[in-house]
Structure 1
Amino acid sequence: MKRSKYVQLSLAASVAMAISGCGPTEKTYAVQKKYNFQSVQQCADEKLPVDVCSDAYMTAMAEHRRIAPVYDSQADCDADFVADWCQQDSAGKFIPKLGGFELTADGQVTQSQVDAAKAQLPASEAANTGGSGFSTSSLLTGLLIGNMLSSNRNSYYSEPVYRYRDDRGSYSNSTLSQRIAKGSTFTKSNQARYGSSNYADSVRSSTSKPVSVASSTSRGGFGSKASARSGWGGGGSSS
């Protein structure tokens, strides 16, 4: 008799689960954005979670120490970046200063999350986001990404950013991988001159997937001798 009751309860639970699984699926939207920040405060001012901003900065700093190109002379370092932008480390080598960090957010949000974010917008801003759909405004995107990062810490990664002069002679900020994609080779760096593998390939492989603070600080490699004195650079426009 007891076994019969257990079987009935089990069947009832299975039917309930099957019914709930057949309901309509909530609509989702892909949200992607790249941010280029020069400080944690600037990141927080964009309505992103402060702990995410801090973690992104720490990740970028750890990667900077690991992959930043190292040079025997300041002139060689300045030639790849900006005059007087490089600094000497504790080993007597020269490395570019960290100019900021790029935070890339990539994930999905649901219709209910979109509606909740819209409810937080000023009336004038909400009018520009479209009815029940998802026509993004800058403020709405910021709110959605902030909420997404708060609930899913696997939705972002960051890279160190460096200052350099572009083809027009203007100052710009960019990651090493972005510069390599545009043809920079950093051939005068010690990694490129003395490394056992191609420096550009090493940078690309290290930035092709999200890197956590724990993993990046535990690995050695290019730039690992960079001094802890490495800090932020001055102003400049974002790329």
Structure 2
Amino acid sequence: MKRSKYVQLSMAASVAMAISGCGPTEKTYAVQKKYNFQSVQQCADEKLPVDVCSDAYMTALTEHRRMAPVYDNQADCDADFVADWCQQDSAGKFIPRLGGFELTADGQVTQSQVDAARAQLPASEASSSGGSGFSTSSLLTGLLIGNMLSNNRNSYYSEPVYRYRDDRGSYGSSTLSQRIAKGSTFYRSNQAKYGSGYSTTTTRPAKKPISVASSTSRGGFGSKASARSGWGGGSSS
């Protein structure tokens, strides 16, 4: 009798757990946004967590030191970038100045997160972003990305950005991998002359999960000295 009652209770608990696990799954959306910043402060002004901005800047600076094209003379460096933009290093070689950093963030958001972000929009923007579902509103996407990074979820990566002049003589800012994808070879550089050259696989850093602490704070690493750091140059082309 006791055993029968125990079996019945166990079965009832199993059924209850099964029912609770069969509820409707909330719809999710993939979001991605690329930002092109000239300073940590500019990044923070876009409502992104300041420690993510600082980490992205430091990553781009490290990548710049690792993979920036190196030239024997300034003329060759200027030809690939912008006149008088290159600097001489301690070894007497010439490298382009860092022109900023590109931060790419992506991940998944739920319908409730979309609704919460839409509630923060100005009335004019909210009405144009649609009712249910997810629209491609730039402001809405920015809010979602900012909230996503603040909650230490999903991933991002950053790359150094450089100034250059295109075939039409216009100025622009771009990562090395973007220029390589459009056909640039940097054949004047020492890497191309004496090494294996450049490729989109060697210049694109791997994505990394959010791991920085206190993301919602504006007083973290980089809020003072790094936040003021910036470089000459214009916006992304």
Q: Which TM-score tier does this pair reach, normalised by the shorter chain?
A: 0.7 to 0.9
- Cα distance, 1:138–1:188 mapped onto 2, change above 3 Å: same
What is the RMSD computed on CA atoms of the aligned residues?
2.6
For residues 60 and 6 of structure 1, what CA distance do their matches in structure 2 show?
A: 62
Q: Which amino acid aligns with 1:188?
A: R
For residues 58 and 212 of structure 1, what CA distance do their matches in structure 2 show?
A: 16
Alignment of 1:52-131 (within 5 A): 52-131=52-131
Q: With the length of structure 2 as denominator, give the TM-score of the two structures.
A: 0.83
Residue pair 2:172, 2:236 contacting (<8 A) in 1 also: yes
Q: Which amino acid aligns with 1:141?
A: T
Report the counterpart of residue 216 of structure 2 in structure 1. none
What's the CA shift for 1:150? Answer: 1.8
Q: With the length of structure 1 as denominator, give the TM-score of the two structures.
A: 0.82
Report the counterpart of residue 225 of structure 1 in structure 2. none
Q: Say whether 1:237 aligns with 2:235.
A: yes
Structure 1 residues 12-66: Cα deviation after superposition (integer angstroms, max 9, x where no partner): 5544432222110101111111111111111112121111111111111111111
- Cα distance, 1:122–1:190 mapped onto 2, change above 3 Å: same
- Cα distance, 1:117–1:212 mapped onto 2, change above 3 Å: closer
- Cα distance, 1:16–1:92 mapped onto 2, change above 3 Å: farther
Structure 1 residues 160-187: Cα deviation after superposition (integer angstroms, max 9, x where no partner): 0000001110110000001111111111
Report the counterpart of residue 31 of structure 2 in structure 1. 31
Residue pair 2:108, 2:154 contacting (<8 A) in 1 also: no
Alignment of 1:1-239 (within 5 A): 14-195=14-195, 198-201=196-199, 203-207=200-204, 209-210=206-207, 232-239=230-237
Moved more, 107-116 or 15-24: 15-24
Q: Which amino acid aligns with 1:125?
A: E
What's the CA shift for 1:75? Answer: 1.2
Q: Structure 1 unaligned runs (5+)?
A: 215-230
For residues 92 and 51 of structure 1, what CA distance do their matches in structure 2 show?
A: 35
| Aligned partner of residue 84 in structure 2, secondary structure | coil
For residues 72 and 170 of structure 1, what CA distance do their matches in structure 2 show?
A: 25
Q: How many residues get paired? A: 220
Residue pair 1:87, 1:97 contacting (<8 A) in 2 also: yes
Structure 1 residues 192-230: Cα deviation after superposition (integer angstroms, max 9, x where no partner): 1111xx2223x523416325899xxxxxxxxxxxxxxxx
Report the counterpart of residue 224 of structure 1 in structure 2. none
Percent of pairs identical after alignment?
A: 84
